[in-house]
């Protein structure tokens, strides 16, 4: 697998999002099987793995730690902090004491001395981002992190943070059915030479073409709460799958592979982090790196994408209040 540059950090051109191993994606799976999934991704060339303290909370990092133990120093490990966690409830909190507890807890659970890429998971409106950057600078001096980033931040916040301590990456949702980043975030990242880590590049599973409403009925699956996953939206957004399917037939690929290849084709500083709990899906996802589009093909596809009408917001009102700060 080729490499891509996230700011000053070089990673595999496709990463692996670990959240779904045990968080928000249905009933808990067998721990040993999830470890095998992560290790299989590494065997196929993936070196960038992404987790967070709030996934579980906490237990996702523990699973990841066990999975990456044989090759910890051969990968670029990312995790996230910046929430005050109370049971299953959490809210943004980037005060220095909270962040210190968070990163030290992550280091302990991940059984590592350093984090390659540490994100502020959501921007805390009550803590100046400059103060947060100074905290990250201190952690960097202490060797706790090598690079830092922001998740779901506005262009203004990115600029202010970067001015204090250069950001390596911004992580945000990005896919063929969620393209808001192209307006303000892309130009900002290009100007400041910051990478983009695209989570949910498969639209939380919808863009595989395999997802049904029944698949998201579990109590541990947050997709049922999202406006984009109502029964009406499921039907209306079939137009996206129809487009992907037509391209997939031409390329001899799957719908999911086209969705991932499309993300990677938009900019050379974008690294998608699809997640899965199935070995064969890891194989399928990784093969997307071999799909290429000509300039004319991409122009034609994006012209069609521009005309699609997607139904439903990606988040409910409460969750929307936490993004784009």
Grouping H, G, I as helix, E, B as strand and the rest as coil, residue 188 is: helix
Beta-bridge partners for 86: 89
Question: What is residue 202's DSSP assignment?
Answer: T
User: Which residues on neighbouring strands pair with residue 148, listed in sequence order?
Assistant: 118
DSSP per residue over 116-145, as a string? EEEEESS--TTS-HHHHHHHHHHHHHTTSE
Compute the distance between CA of residue 27 and CA of residue 161 in angstroms, rounded to an integer: 38
Please tell me the distance from the alpha carbon of residue 102 to that of residue 114, in angstroms, as a whole number.
13
The DSSP annotation for 212-272 comes to -GGGG-STTBGGGGSGGGSHHHHHHTHHHHHHHHHHHHHHT--HHHHHHHHHHHH-TTEEE
Annotated active-site residue in 55, 119, 199, 269: 55
User: Can you read off the two tokens belonging to residue 49?
Assistant: 């793995």
Taking the C-alpha atoms of residue 95 and residue 103, their distance in angstroms, rounded to an integer, is 12
Catalytic residue check, 55: yes
Any idea how long the chain is?
325
- Give catalytic residue positions: 55
């Amino acid at each position: 697998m080729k490499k891509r540059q996230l700011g000053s950090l070089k990673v595999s051109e496709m990463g692996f999002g670990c959240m779904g191993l045990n968080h928000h994606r249905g009933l808990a799976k067998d721990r040993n099987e999830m470890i095998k999934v992560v290790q299989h991704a590494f065997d196929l060339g993936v070196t960038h793995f992404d987790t967070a303290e709030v996934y579980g909370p906490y237990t996702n990092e523990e699973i990841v730690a066990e999975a990456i133990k044989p090759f910890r120093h051969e990968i670029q490990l990312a995790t996230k902090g910046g929430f005050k966690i109370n049971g299953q409830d959490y809210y943004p909190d980037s005060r220095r004491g909270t962040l210190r507890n968070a990163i030290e807890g992550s280091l302990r659970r991940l059984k590592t001395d350093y984090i390659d890429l540490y994100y502020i998971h959501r921007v805390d409106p009550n803590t100046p981002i400059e103060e947060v950057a100074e905290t990250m600078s201190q952690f960097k001096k202490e060797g706790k992190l090598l690079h830092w980033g922001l998740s779901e931040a506005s262009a203004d916040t990115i600029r202010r943070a970067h001015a204090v301590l250069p950001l390596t990456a911004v992580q945000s949702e990005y896919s063929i059915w969620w393209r808001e980043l192209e307006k303000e975030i892309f130009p900002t990242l290009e100007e400041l030479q910051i990478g983009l880590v695209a989570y949910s590049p498969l639209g939380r599973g919808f863009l595989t073409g395999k997802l049904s409403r029944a698949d998201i009925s579990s109590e541990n699956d947050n997709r049922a709460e999202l406006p984009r996953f109502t029964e009406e939206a499921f039907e209306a957004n079939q137009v996206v799958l129809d487009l992907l399917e037509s391209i997939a037939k031409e390329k001899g690929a799957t719908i999911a592979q086209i969705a991932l290849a499309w993300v990677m084709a938009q900019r050379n500083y974008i690294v998608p982090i699809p997640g899965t709990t199935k070995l064969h899906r890891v194989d399928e996802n990784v093969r997307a790196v071999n799909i290429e589009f000509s300039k004319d093909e991409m122009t034609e596809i994006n012209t069609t994408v521009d005309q699609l009408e997607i139904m439903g917001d990606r988040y409910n009102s409460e969750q929307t209040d936490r993004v784009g700060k």
